[in-house]
Amino acid sequence: MALLVLATMIMVIAHQAHGSGRGSMGLVSGITDPPIAGICSTSVSIHGYKCHEIDVETRDGFILSMQRIPEGRDGGGDTERPPVLIQHGVLVDGMTWLLNPPEQNLPLILADGGFDVWIANTRGTRYSCRHTSLQPDEPGTLIALASFSEGLLVDKLKSAVLLSPIAYLSHMNTALGVAAAKVFVGEITTLLGVAEFNPKGEPVAKFLKALCDYPGVDCYDLLTSITGQNCCLNASTVDLFLKNEPQSTSTKNMVHLAQTVRDGVLAKYNYGNPYFNVMHYGEAKPPIYNLSNIPHNLPIFISYGGKDALSDVRDVELLLDSLKLHDVDKLTIQYIKDYAHADFIMGVNAKDIVYNQVVSFFNHQH
């Protein structure tokens, strides 16, 4: 289930099973007053939808922000609505799902389609950087994210949608990503002494500026340099994206992603020394994730694009090969020839091409 977070900008939508009470995700510590300029007030309520800001405290003390859209713009009556969790990827936050107009963004489409929508914001992003004792720049890894954040949800999943999923990165062809993977090693980050990878902070900005000098890297078109040539984006939406993103994450997360690119396998974080790996894992090399352990009867919808520079078609095929024992009637695959990575979340035609299929898939599961 670590597949849910092992990505640079993976988009995951998880349909929760019934049984924990109407509207409950089993995580809520309390509905709070919306923060100033919070996601609800800036991107949901202004369109006429109910929206609640919710704080979730993880087992290791992180306070995560979630937004709940309990019903569509026209209301929901007393009918029980299936809850759906929408999870963003690394370096972005939940706001990214809401940049398009209401009729084009997935959370509001799902709300109008009869679902109880929950938007997650992973630790380290602007609305999920609080902790009961630690500071936002404490070290962390993808393993921590999987174990304590998204991992809390695994036993509640009824079905899952993976949009432009990233499990393997060995064929990633984005110039900026390849350059970063070559130089983004633990030794460098140790010398930097930076635990928080904040793309808008001075240390990381200097690092990124140096990468811009690599051949083929065009930092004047940063989105394309990262995601590939997107076909279907609106210029105003891209401007909003660049104003709001990217978001912070752990430096170890970025090192871990670079390891995935260089090593060509999906494994736990490599501490770079057999002694430290033994301390953490009981063995000299990091254990490899076995994606075939995903329950074979879990309904999964995977949609990927032919122009995606991050989630390359060949890497998605490796993912699909690891799911070859999955129940045939539980695995739905959609391939979109002209789509790149950002088209799945901001494409002006994503509603017709992808989101309507997502709604139909979830409707079929309950």
Per residue in 120-176, pLDDT tens? Answer: 887 666 666 655 555 544 444 444 333 333 344 456 678 888 898 887 777 877 777
Of residues 131, 17, 151, the one with CA closest to residue 87: 151
Per residue in 11-20, pLDDT tens? Answer: 445 555 544 4
List of domains in the chain: 2-169+291-364 (3.40.50.1820)
Cis peptide before 246 (omega within 30 of 0): yes
CA-to-CA distance for 77 and 300, rounded, in angstroms? 29
CA-to-CA distance for 1 and 5, rounded, in angstroms? 8
Which amino acid type is present at position 293?
Answer: N
- Helices 175-183 and 202-211 pack at an angle, to 10 degrees, of 110
CA-to-CA distance for 167 and 193, rounded, in angstroms? 28
- For 145-149, 239-243, 311-315, 326-330, which range has the lowest pLDDT when averaged over its residues? 145-149
pTM summary value: 0.80
Handedness of CA 127, 311, 337, 324 (dihedral sign): negative
DSSP state of 309: S
What is the tally of helices (H) and strands (E) in the chain?
14, 12
- For 1-10, 243-252, 352-361, which range has the lowest pLDDT when averaged over its residues? 1-10
Half-sphere exposure of 214 (CA within 13 A, CB side): 19
- For 42-56, 135-149, 303-317, which range has the lowest pLDDT when averaged over its residues? 135-149
Half-sphere exposure of 47 (CA within 13 A, CB side): 24
> Any idea which residue has 């900008």 for tokens?
9
